[in-house]
Amino acid sequence: MTYAEPGWEYRDSYFGGTDFVGQEVVWHVVGDIRTPVWAMNYYGRVLRDDLFDAATGGRVIQEALSALYREGRFLGGFRWQDGDEHLYEDTSTGDHRMFTGRERIVKDDTEVYTLDYHGGLIRE
């Protein structure tokens, strides 16, 4: 996934499905020079294939993160629920300069998905 606007580029690249790994990077762009300025790495996995699948995980995460971003926030301390079925929780320490965190999804009092992430500013 990519996004660009004058002076900036963003890319999220990942591998896998039910269990996956990825990285997000933000570059500052001046002419032909692209300088990485921020990055985050993550690893996530479905813990209970019998109760939860990757497609449901993608939907729940997209809805939860959209709600988080509408609040003008980026990092943890966030809980969201899609009716009575799934509870999404994100906890983290730090800020955009250096952070680590975990997101998880609970279904019927059972943790069915988890993801660990960390990242921060990149300096020369």
Q: Quote the pTM value.
A: 0.90
Q: What is the pLDDT of residue 83?
A: 84
Dist CA 110 CA 7 (whole Å): 44
Q: What is the pLDDT of residue 100?
A: 98
Quick one: how far is CA 43 from the chain centroid? 10
Q: From first to last of the 124 residues of the chain, give the pLDDT tens digit.
A: 999 999 999 999 999 989 999 999 999 999 999 999 999 999 999 999 999 999 999 999 999 999 999 999 888 889 999 988 999 999 999 999 999 999 999 999 999 999 999 999 999 8
- CA-closest candidate to residue 37, choices 46, 49, 24, 28: 28
Q: What angle do CA 90, 95, 99 make, to 5 degrees?
A: 65
Q: What is the pLDDT of residue 6?
A: 96
Enumerate the β-bridge partners of residue 79.
89
Q: Is 55 helix (H, G, I), strand (E, B) or coil?
A: helix
Q: What is the pLDDT of residue 76?
A: 80
Q: Is 38 helix (H, G, I), strand (E, B) or coil?
A: strand
